[in-house]
Amino acid sequence: MSNELKRGLEGVLVAESDLSHVDGEVGKLVYRGYDIEELARGASYEEVLHLLWHGSLPTRAELEAFSDDLAAERAVDDEVLSTVRTLADASERPMAALRTAVSMLSAYDGESGDVLAEGAAITAKVPTILAAFERARQGEPPVAPDPDLSHAGNFLYMLTGTEPDDVSEETFDMALTLHADHGLNASTFTALVIGSTMADVYSGVTGGIGALSGSLHGGANQDVMEMLREVDDSGKDPAEWAADAREEGRRIPGFGHRVYKVKDPRANILEEKLRDLADASGDRKWLEYTTAIESYLTEEGLVEKGIAPNVDFYSGSVYDAMGIPMDLYTPIFAMSRVGGWVAHVHEYREDNRLIRPRARYTGPETAEFVPLEDR
């Protein structure tokens, strides 16, 4: 057994998976062999969930049945919604509110012991919880889910009370697909560790949300939007602002990734969708700022050094263009990634082994015990 220490489990293989593969050297992401660009452009989020959970893209009949089953799970018990309103009134952070509400769901859904059944219930209800939380913050009652709308379209509808336009629904659906899975990232590994104990899926997803809430995992897209607003307030040219920020030793959010050494393929797709949204609205400010900063940093050689735009560099602008509040960006990440968490737990359970790593002891070899009365 190797005693080599790998801090952060860097490069350590802990499982085999058929679900997703990330090639950071060439900027490629695949789900079960399908390139992410093909899936984002040609398949709905529901189709991608079916692929991750059941191993294949569905036929039309399978998709209709799968989508209907998900839609039937969207309603959330009034007691959970009451807690969501209480948390909103208390100015709780959205990720913390989501974590609490998902944990509560098990009391009202009834644990089946079936990973995919529990996962479907959670996946369907997370959008309902988040939309209800935001409306409560605005002093508005929740909007009941519409079973005739897609997963993406229904969330935007529940958030605003108005059915989204085609561009917004398509863009949001793509964003969900792009964030659905990404190997054994921190939140997925957290859900997997919990799942390996044979705990229920509610526990695994709650843990995944907790891991994603940390600033080193989720939240970069919110940082990007805060940066863009700072650029706007400064009155500077975006490239000039970026040059000054680098001179001050500041890190540019949305650039660099633990795995990708080139531009994140998901960023390319969201950049295109940001252009579509800008064309539809006529507001091109965030598009111009992000592309200007990317061009400047590329010319400065950051990409050559393996520091390239990641998915967050464009996702924040996309969400802002749809009128979504900044502090909902990471919860939306969770809304999408819950599909991947469920898929990994389901896959791992097929040949389950409790995940139990070791730590190298660095404490004293011996210590003399002194009775309490003599200390």
Task: Name the residues annotated as catalytic.
Answer: 257, 312
Residues near 85 by beta carbon (within 8 Å), at least 6 away in sequence: 132, 136
Helical pair 94-109 and 201-212, crossing angle rounded to 10 deg:
180
CB-based contact 246:252 (threshold 8 Å):
yes
In angstroms, the first-to-last Cα distance of the chain is: 40
What's the CA gap between 28 and 307, in Å, rounded? Answer: 16
Residues near 256 by beta carbon (within 8 Å), at least 6 away in sequence: 306, 307, 308, 310
Q: Phi and psi dihedrals of 252, rounded to 5? A: -85, 115
Q: How do strand 20-23 and strand 34-35 relate by DSSP bridges? A: unpaired
What's the CA gap between 159 and 132, in Å, rounded? Answer: 7
CB-based contact 269:174 (threshold 8 Å):
yes
Nearest to 204 by CA among 330, 358, 343, 20: 343
Nearest to 346 by CA among 185, 178, 118, 124: 118
Tokens of 115: 């990973």
262-289 as b/e: b if 16+ CB within 10 A: bbbbbbbbbbebbebbbeeeeeeebbeb
CB-based contact 190:210 (threshold 8 Å):
yes
What's the CA gap between 126 and 133, in Å, rounded? Answer: 11
- Provide the H-helix boundaries in 264-328: 265-281, 285-299, 312-321
